[in-house]
């Protein structure tokens, strides 16, 4: 299975979170937040995220844009899991990777219950809940799913440490590749710009030579 690097997000990533959610269409947002949501309300949600209290995780693409985001809202030993993946990156295991990272975090931070609340037609979330072995309670239109989280141990702490380092390495490499692409593109544009006057001059001299002949 392809490994999807996941990174904890912080206040420094708030603007990237705004751009991520703005890439979701109205139906994506309805499924994510369980009701129709306006852009103004969406931005208020992003602005209200408390990174000191909650845990937020993300997956970055080669352009350092967030393709997937998980928000783990923490309340008295219970963590509510919400996830979103932008179009074009679904089916790549991003949602599952974000859930696994959130579960790992829950184990190591004394979270006793992992909780999901979603609409019944939210197939990706239902898939994650079933795959995780959550206890699912179906209502007419909504779903509640719970999972008792075992306490962390030496293995889970090591895995979290390792996963964080893999995420940081992945982000550093993508940052370097993006910087290299940006510099290469800038040199290419500059070379094209500089070559235009030369070509025009050469063309003008050829025309003069023809007239002289």
Give the pLDDT mean for 104-129.
94
pLDDT over 80 at 81, yes or no: yes
Task: Give the three-class secondary structure for 90.
Answer: coil
pLDDT on residue 15: 97
| pLDDT per residue as tens digits for the range 35-73 | 999 999 999 999 999 999 999 999 999 999 999 999 999
Cα distance between residue 192 and residue 194, in whole Å: 6
Residue 64 CA: distances (Å) to CA of 17, 83, 100, 141, 176: 11, 18, 22, 36, 11
pLDDT on residue 182: 78
Which of 5-19, 41-55, 145-159, 198-212 is predicted with the least confidence, judged by mean pLDDT? 198-212
pLDDT on residue 175: 87
CB distance 91 to 44 below 8 Å:
no
Task: Give the three-class secondary structure for 62.
Answer: coil
Give the pLDDT mean for 137-150.
91
Domains defined along the chain, listed by start: 7-176 (3.40.630.30)
Quick one: tokens of 208? 């003069």
Quick one: tokens of 54? 């909650």
Which of 89-93, 121-125, 139-143 is predicted with the least confidence, judged by mean pLDDT? 139-143
CB distance 49 to 56 below 8 Å:
yes
């Amino acid at each position: 299975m392809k490994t999807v690097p996941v990174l904890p997000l912080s206040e420094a990533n708030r603007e990237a979170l705004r751009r991520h959610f703005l890439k979701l269409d109205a139906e994506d947002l309805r499924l994510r937040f369980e009701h129709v949501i306006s852009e103004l309300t969406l931005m208020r949600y992003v602005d209200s995220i408390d990174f000191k209290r909650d845990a937020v995780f993300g997956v970055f693409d080669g352009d350092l844009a967030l393709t997937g985001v998980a928000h783990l809202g923490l309340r008295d030993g219970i963590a509510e899991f919400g996830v979103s993946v932008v179009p074009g990156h679904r089916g790549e295991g991003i949602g599952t990777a974000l859930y696994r990272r959130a579960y790992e975090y829950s184990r190591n931070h004394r979270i006793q219950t992992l909780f999901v609340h979603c609409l019944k037609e939210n197939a990706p979330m239902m898939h994650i809940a079933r795959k995780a072995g959550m206890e699912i309670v179906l209502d007419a239109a909504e779903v509640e799913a719970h999972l008792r989280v075992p306490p962390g141990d030496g293995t889970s702490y090591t895995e979290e440490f390792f996963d964080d380092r893999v995420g940081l390495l992945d982000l550093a490499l993508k940052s370097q590749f993006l910087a290299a692409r940006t510099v290469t593109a800038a040199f290419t544009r500059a070379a094209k710009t500089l070559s235009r006057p030369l070509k025009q001059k050469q063309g003008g001299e050829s025309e003069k030579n023809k007239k002289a002949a």
